[in-house]
Structure 1
Amino acid sequence: MRLDKYICESTSLTRSLAKKALHRGEVCCDGEVIKDSGFKVRDGMTVTLDGNEIGLLGQRYIMLHKPDGIICSTQDEEYQCVLSLLDIEKPDILHIAGRLDVDTTGLVLITDDGQWSHQITSPKKTCGKRYRVTVADPLSADLVAQFAEGVQLNGEDGLTRPAELEILSAHEALLTIVEGKYHQVKRMFAAVGNKVTALHRESVGAIELDADLEAGEWRYLTDAEVASVAAEKASK
């Protein structure tokens, strides 16, 4: 890889700023000052910028505990975006694998691996997402079978795909869906005459929200958590 590109992909510098740093003699490769922007960086080579070692970021996989009032989009000036909660290099090249509404809390997965996130978000996949749902009116036992058969959403053709409902109490349940229709969980309960008053996503596929993460906190996924998405694909 060209040295100027390596610097850009390892830092927040633009190509022009990287070239200026090179011309100032601030870049070393294996201890030698390099000013040639076209210099080829070899595998295993140590690159430093102004005395600090830099390296390619590689693909990143992050879980974040989304708080209430934070959006999963950068196209809104009223609310803060979840990406702003990440104190890391180049957050702008990351994307969210399955968004949540502004008033929904819980697990958000963030990555720069498009193929990996496709396994989660594609309508053709069957990656389950489990939500803890609080509703206004008491839940009836017959909803378990109704949700398993599919629910007719307002404005949609056909039923939702089968969903798993576990009633925990009169006003609380766990709902696992394999789709990601617009406001789907809220619309499913609205279709049966109820209203969601609180919604929290606990898991995506085999990835569970880390209980140690407070709202607004994040961590990188473990190798096993990352691999679980591909494993789900292979088991289908």
Structure 2
Amino acid sequence: MRLDKFICKSTELDKQQALLVLQGKKVSVNGDLIIDPAFQVHDNNKVTLNDQVLVPRPFRYILMHKPAAMICSNVDEVYPSAFNLLTFENEIVNTEFKGSDSIALNSDEFHIAGRLDADTTGLVLITDDGSWTYNITLPNSGCKKVYRVGLSKPFKVELISQFEQGIQLQGEAQLTLPASIKIINSKEVLLTITEGKFHQVKRMFAAIGNRVVSLHRQQIGNIKLDVAVGKWRYLTPLEVNYESN
């Protein structure tokens, strides 16, 4: 972990404040004064700030129901950031994590594992654990993502086999990995994929001559969306240690 991130994770300091204490020569690692914010800190290192030993708080794992017209970014842009919804006015479901409820959520520490477009709603996962995110988003992890897809034209049942065999996306050399489809009604389906290519769902249906008019993610791995729009909760330990298959 970067030293500046370690400081943020062990104190109430934000990234800019962490840089200032480093520049002020107030931080040591294993007795050596360090000013490089990118210096890598490991579990067995002793990090001190003003001679006080720093102990990082546990990683945090959050499920959020992202509304439309919000972006998966740490800062507001054309649309507001989904991180604006992270306040402790929300109920903390998992009591095992209540020890951290006195610590303000600093969006600089967090990132979203598997972003959604501004017009896409549903499940997003927010964490400060980069290794956990990597395991979820790794292309060969086999982590399933389930989307409820609204279409501009009726979906033909005979096209299911094409998704099961793989779809040829424009600009891609290889077919998509096998996907599964369950028809809800003539213009709405449940699509399960194990990849995360750029705009993959929209491109898959475009490839068969249809257009996605609404998109909602309701599941990642074994983690299911179960909170109201705009709300969030901490993941349970079982969800954090999920098995992708």
Same fold, judged at TM 0.5 (above): yes
Select 2:116's aligned residue among 100, 121, 134.
100
Amino acid at match of 1:223: P
Q: What are the residue-to-residue correspondences of 1:145-224 with 2, within 5 Å?
A: 145-210=161-226, 213-224=227-238
Task: Please name the residue that 1:23 is paired with.
Answer: none
Q: CA RMSD in A?
A: 2.5
Per-residue deviation, 1:74? 3.7
**Structure 2, unaligned runs of 5 or more:** 1-5, 22-48, 88-103
**Does the 8 Å contact 1:12/1:89 carry over to 2?**
no
Matching of residue 64 in structure 1 with residue 69 in structure 2: no
Per-residue deviation, 1:115? 1.2
Task: Please name the residue that 2:132 is paired with.
Answer: 116
Q: Find the aligned partners of 1:134 and 1:7 in 2 and give their Cα distance.
A: 42
Larger CA Rg, structure 1 vs 2: 1
Task: Please name the residue that 1:52 is paired with.
Answer: none
Q: Deviations along 1:170-201, whole A, 9 cap, x unmatched?
A: 01100000110111101100100001110000
- Change over 3 Å in CA distance of 1:137–1:82 after alignment to 2: same
**Does the 8 Å contact 1:132/1:201 carry over to 2?**
yes
Per-residue deviation, 1:39? 3.1
**Structure 1, unaligned runs of 5 or more:** 18-35, 42-54
Q: Find the aligned partners of 1:8 and 1:125 in 2 and give their Cα distance.
A: 28
Q: Give the total of aligned pairs.
A: 197
Q: Find the aligned partners of 1:130 and 1:97 in 2 and give their Cα distance.
A: 15
Task: Please name the residue that 2:11 is paired with.
Answer: 10
- Change over 3 Å in CA distance of 1:77–1:145 after alignment to 2: same
SS of equivalent to 2:241: helix
Q: Find the aligned partners of 1:206 and 1:126 in 2 and give their Cα distance.
A: 12
Task: Please name the residue that 1:37 is paired with.
Answer: 50
Per-residue deviation, 1:6? 6.7
- Change over 3 Å in CA distance of 1:159–1:86 after alignment to 2: same
Per-residue deviation, 1:113? 0.9
